[in-house]
Structure 1
Amino acid sequence: MATSSDEQAAGQHYLVCGIQACQENGQFYCNDCHQPMCEQCKDEHRKSPDTKNHDIVLYRQRKHRLPVNKCKKHPTKIVDIFCKECQTPLCLKCFLTEEHKGHEFDDLEEIYAEKYALWQGEFSKIQKYFLPTSEGLKTDIKRDVKEIKKIMENIRKSMKAEAESLKNLVDEVTAEKIEHTHSMEKSLLQMLKSQETTYNDFITYLGKMSDEFQEYLSTTNKKLLSSEILKIQSIPETAKPVPPVFTAGEFNRDDVAKLLCRLNVPNTEPEKRKIQPMEAVSTPMKFTEKQLKQRREKSDMKQMLSLSSSVTKVREYSVPDVDNAYHVSVDKSGRPWVSDDDGNLVQTDLHGNPLQEIQTTGDTKGYHTATQDGGLIYTDQDKKVIYRITPDRRITEFIKTGDWEPLSVHSSRINGDILVGMRKDEEAKVTRYNKAGKETQNIQRDNQGQELYDWPHYITENINGDICTSDHGKEAVVVVNKSGQHRFSYTGQGSVFRPFGICTDVLGHILVCDILSNTVHLLDPDGGFLSVILSPQQGIEYPRCVCVWMMKTISMWDNSAPTQ
């Protein structure tokens, strides 16, 4: 059963057949009788002469019953006819009056169904596009908040580091200048010391001269009679020191600011956030007759495709060197790659003749996927590496997954992205890589922080971008939207569900193998159970993998690979 992320406990509503006392699953609906039917009652309904022409569709494609409105002119009659010319709803009595004679009429129930489908489509757009896309943009904004905070913190660290560097330079230059003052002071003091020595020597000289004069001046000194005259040396001349003059540096706050970094917002136009375009455009509320006819034709075609829940075996062949086929990938020319639990990976032509064979470490998982260019990608769980095989058969190392073991892989048919189911210790996740091998997204927990995955061993992508994972540990098909938001988990129709291979078709249906009940389940894009398309009654035993290519379903089990 399918459970949404906010209605896990409520479970899935089980539709009961409305025919008498039948209590089987009412997966079909009669638009004429307005009641659900099981498959057996549907077949009996079509065999009955009275109801063989009734319009029977899948329950989810039913026409909703027209609301009961009484005619204002004829209160006992119900309004169920629409006059195209007067654009007025009528009852049967109004329809038979002269006023509307010759006018064209339409079934009001058909118009109501069209309007209901339109509003339901708009509601679906809100749920499947506008809300997830808006949530994705909110996630982008939260990511930008973290990035901005990180950038600004780095800028602040750079500013502090630059200021510290400038302070260090100022301290270094100041230290050099102070050291220079010490040198200048030493030189000036040495000069003054030399001058002091000069005068000390001259004073000593004067002392000697004074003694000599005293000796000459003695009356008994005969030297006075000498013709020699004592001469005194001139006082030595010295110069005053010229001290340095301090001149303050000329700078202000602006000068300092110029020396440091500048913080400017680039003069560029902000890049607009990318909004994923909606695949289905809105249709106008009013339809012309031609538009209504086209819509009915498209609806009939869709129902015809959707109702092909019974399949017919077309061809069956065995793949050489492959035992117990566990996974199949089909390239763009329709040639399958098939793998078993011994690591044998073989490509055959459409007749089962082998074309290529590779020995891998893969086992019971969906570990390979065909690419848009005709190549193949496969994982090596032991080496934690994803390899790529080019169309000319060259094998190259593509992605390294670090500590995570790559279990399953899928190449997107929408944009070529690579989706990988991974596991490490007791954790599991789905990682998205672009075509160049760059990691762009990790999906691991839901909005409540609960682990989404346990053992994602098969993985695929739906046409609406949903990522559908067959999880052996969770015993469920876990589906998230392209933004990674949990949409629902399908847990089968019985007490135990053991999902294996999984794929989707062009209408967005999900096909998944259940190896316990030996069946292949068909789900609608919202996880609603539609039917069992392959079962033991059709010779199915232990279905392990399934693949849809060009509206053909390829299922594999045991030693054979029948095409259906």
Structure 2
Amino acid sequence: MDPRTSAQDVMRCDLCETAVVQMHCDTCLVNLCTACVGKHMISDESKDHKVVKFQARKSTPLYPGCKSHSKQQCTMYCDKCEIPVCTKCLASDQHLGHKLSEILVIVDEKKIKMIKEQSELKETIYPTYEDIASDVKNRMSQLKKKYGDLSTAITKHGEDWHREIDKLVKKLKAEVEEMKSTQLQTLQKHLDEINKKMSDIKDEIDSLEMAINSNDLSKLFKVTSNVNIYRSLPQKPVPTLSKFIPEKIQEEKLSKMFGTLSSGSFTSDKDGYIMKTTQKSPEAGSSPPVKQLLDELETLKTVNTGYNQYLINVACLSDEEIWTRGSDTTMKLYSINQGSLLKSITTKSGNRAEDIAVTKSGDLVYTDYDRTVNIVKNEKIDEVIRLQNWKPRGVCSTSSGDLLVTMYSDDYKQTKVVRYSGSTEKQTIQFHDKGQPLYSSGAGYNRYITENRNLDICVSDEGAKAVVVVNQAGKLRFRYTGHTPAPKNQPFYPVGITTDSQSHILTADYNNHCVHIIDQDGQFLRYIDCGLSRPWGLCTDTNDNLFVAQRENRQVMKIKYMC
């Protein structure tokens, strides 16, 4: 048996790979035998090697390097500037008169806070979400049983009637099944959201665990806890069960006398969910399959839309059908594979739509210059939002079923994002923590919007020439202002925006005839520039295929960019 590869063997020196480990270099994270200590010390004399007994490894703090003075370690912390500082920093006038603390004291305080938050996530928040998931599952089971009882009651009552009313029995039972399906779908959606949060909380716990156990102090300052988000529990949907009200049999007015079925719906429990105080073992949540960006892009399909002037927006109804919007008053539904027009809808006001999106239920939603947001259901246009002193621009439908709308004031001096649940305003996002506007102002600028998988809200701000990303609470996460070199060496000009299953953010760059792909933290990944011409609107389907609306040639290009 080879002692270097045996699973039962003791740890060996990283240098000679033969002798038993007795020492450890906390600076280089290398295991050493006593004979190799000297050799390691002189291997890189630029480092201050901290060699300790193997049992005491990770006992030496790795101080952060100073950003202002190379090769200097920060052993102090400026409380006013909230940054680590080195001795050269202290000798300068930059921190004169500022209160200073030993960095190890600050680290201890941060560790105490992180341990407390990790404990809260482990022992309180995650178990609460476990109970919420269990509660939703129980409600779904009860709902199935009660709707089954309801169907049985209708069937029993129907057996007392003549053959000619069998049609009414089937009709009412179908309504029961439809309401059951709708309510179960609502609870399933709620359960999916809870499971997603549980997965996110587990990731948060693991992140904090790694930071707490690390002796690399720089990592501690990079970790930001999102525990405040998880303290805010979701609303608790409670289904209202339909009731069957039978009537005595009369031959006349059969359709009315057979019985009526009240509508099922949901109400919110005023007490909502309650945070647990007991600890449970969290279970691993699900996550989407990991996909990789392709080295070579593939153009799968090109659809000619036939608009007279410009093609502006595209929105996926399904993997086979797309809605489009041009510079006129018509919105068109196309078959992707056939490239044929399936349906056309003209705006109710006679104005052109400002933006289009598709809701989770498959309805088309569009914003109108007449201050309205409208939903198209079965070719009927319903006004759901009417603004005062503001005009809507971009719109998207969120994973929770809300609508996010970008809008600007009548005097063009203000821009904001508003979240709606139906017609009810739930949230306004306009300023960052220092009171400054998050988005540019001014007339004529497009500000399209989408929600990322991590619930970040992403806006392509044409006026600011930036993609502005805030978290679910409306706090600024980052601004992306383009990448150099650009394919056409032109200034960044962001318009259409979308996301995919990997939480990538994709934005169309009109000036550079390309699409930028960045990750959920704003890091540039690559360009999509496979022969695009003046790209504007974007959307992705469930297979992460990208659809690009090209403004001037009025074509939609379907592109495969991930595998």
**TM-score w.r.t. length of structure 2:** 0.49
Greater strand content: 2
* Structure index of larger Rg: 1
**TM-score w.r.t. length of structure 1:** 0.49
Q: Which has the higher contact order (CA 8 A, sep 6+)?
A: 1
